[in-house]
């Protein structure tokens, strides 16, 4: 199938400290299919932006919507959003504010956030940005399984500090239509069976998953950064999810 301006649009959004570059290896496999694929860098994570530390979740959500509409997606031809890790906060806002623009959301080792939650509510106001922590600390927060020394070195070299306002801002959600958007969980560092069990138990990190009306899961066992540890398999998982109509 030839890629045209009317081909389905997939937008890749990476998590904290990352930009569009994080998807490079996945793009090598996705762009050969019939989808249009855009990897974007959220406001606040562009190293060349002198005002990036002041960016907010609202700025990030607005940027995602701008990419959707700029590339021709609409209520008649909604986009497929792929959100990794900490991109769940701005993408949750997009689903809440513009559910009609999203055909499907694919959460990569991530998931929708609970209304009113913030990633770092206790981060002091005077902290302008949060740099990537040491690898020892990072490994305590998320699985580094499958990442080679060279990949970790690249991560360290290219990581951009996360803006403080993004981490402190509560995610205000009011539109239950967000829960009607077709959803796929790509479960990596935590198996899908455990994720669903935690969701049913009301665990704060997964509670919103229990409210999704159209949910399917894909298990991709690896660490928290599958775009580097299993890029080909992640591309296939995204393609499979994007091709589903139910």
Q: What is the pLDDT of residues 190-222, one digit of tens each?
A: 999 999 999 999 998 899 999 999 999 999 999
**Residue 37 in contact with residue 234, Cβ under 8 Å?**
no
Q: Report, as an integer, the average pLDDT of 133-155.
A: 96
- Residue 1 is predicted with a pLDDT of 47
The band of 34, judged by pLDDT with boundaries at 50, 70 and 90, is confident
80-123: pLDDT as tens digits: 999 999 999 999 999 999 999 999 999 999 999 999 999 999 99
Angle between helix axes 57-70 and 88-97 (nearest 10 degrees) is 60
Indicate whether 74 pLDDT > 80: no
Tokens standing for residue 207: 């509670």
Phi, psi of 85, deg, nearest 5? 50, -125
Helices (H) and strands (E) in the chain, counts: 9, 8
Tokens standing for residue 114: 């609970």
Q: Report, as an integer, the average pLDDT of 173-186.
A: 97
Q: What span, in angstroms and rounded, lies between the C-alpha atoms of 130 and 164?
A: 6
CA 26 to chain centre: 14
Q: In the chain, pLDDT over 70 holds for what percent of residues?
A: 96
pTM of the model: 0.95
Q: In the chain, pLDDT over 90 holds for what percent of residues?
A: 88
Q: What span, in angstroms and rounded, lies between the C-alpha atoms of 246 and 226?
A: 25
């Amino acid at each position: 199938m030839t890629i045209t301006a009317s081909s389905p649009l997939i937008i890749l959004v990476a998590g904290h400290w990352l930009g569009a570059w994080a998807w490079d290896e996945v793009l090598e496999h996705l762009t050969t299919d019939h989808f249009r694929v855009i990897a974007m860098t959220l406001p606040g994570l562009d190293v060349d932006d002198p005002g990036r530390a002041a960016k907010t979740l609202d700025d990030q959500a607005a940027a995602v919507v701008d990419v959707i509409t700029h590339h021709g997606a609409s209520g008649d031809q909604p986009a497929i959003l792929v959100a990794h890790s900490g991109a769940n906060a701005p993408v949750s806002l997009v689903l809440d504010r513009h559910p009609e623009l999203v055909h499907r959301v694919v959460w990569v080792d991530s998931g929708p956030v609970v209304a009113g939650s913030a990633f770092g509510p206790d981060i002091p106001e005077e902290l302008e940005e949060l740099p990537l922590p040491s690898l020892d600390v990072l490994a305590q927060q998320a699985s580094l399984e499958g990442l080679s020394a060279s990949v970790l070195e690249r991560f360290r070299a290219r990581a951009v500090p996360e803006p403080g306002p993004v981490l402190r801002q509560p995610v205000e959600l009011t539109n239950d239509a967000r829960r009607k958007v077709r959803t796929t969980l790509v479960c990596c560092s935590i198996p899908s069976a455990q994720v669903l069990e935690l969701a049913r138990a009301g665990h704060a990190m997964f509670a919103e998953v229990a409210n999704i009306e159209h949910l399917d899961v894909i298990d991709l066992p690896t660490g928290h950064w599958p775009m580097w540890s299993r890029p080909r398999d992640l591309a296939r998982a995204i393609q499979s999810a994007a091709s589903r109509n139910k």
